Amino acid sequence: MTDNLSFAAFDVETANPKHGSICAIGVAVVHKGVRVATHSWLCRPPATVGEFAPRNMGIHKITPSTVTGEPTFAQRLPELLDTIGDLPVVAHNAVFDMGNLTRACEFSGVMLPGWQYGCTYAWSKRQLLLGGHKLNQVAAALGITLDNHHDAGADAAAAADIAIALARMAGVRDLADLARFNGTRLTHLSGVRR
């Protein structure tokens, strides 16, 4: 039933609480309902928001020395865009991930991608009766492996698998149908709804 379910799942980790301080990016690519690739990249956050906060480092274990010698966010962005191409995108708590992407692009003086995206957090809240809908909680409820929570690649893979599971439960064929099933629509990253 998920033969048209092709998309990318996106996740970021941030150096500090300031939006745009991206220090790691994860992408999982799904083709015809099967996760076929997972990517994880480190990067130096935009200089304006480049300091690392102890709380954030405690969560994801990424430190300033971890990203020394890594490309900047702006230098990493083309690889991210090539990997996602024209696929629609999901993120678990898309407000966080897309908000950080938007600010990182602004701080870096680069163009924001024109993605269509949806939120597996919002969809899981509509489809699953759970005590909480954080990524690890939803993954556990659906029997999805999340071995290294707060690793951007692992989190993107879990978000991808959640979207696949929710689509199968809903009996829908693609991401736009999954959004509609859950009373939402895919949103254009610029904020314009399509």
* Residues 13-50 pLDDT 10s: 999 999 999 999 999 999 999 999 999 999 999 999 99
Q: What is the pLDDT confidence band of residue 193, given thresholds at 50, 70 and 90?
A: very low
In DSSP notation, 22-78 reads EEEEEEEEEETTEEEEEEEEE-BPPGGG-PPPHHHHHHH---HHHHTTSPBHHHHHH
Residues 68-99: tens digit of each pLDDT: 999 999 999 999 999 999 999 999 999 999 99
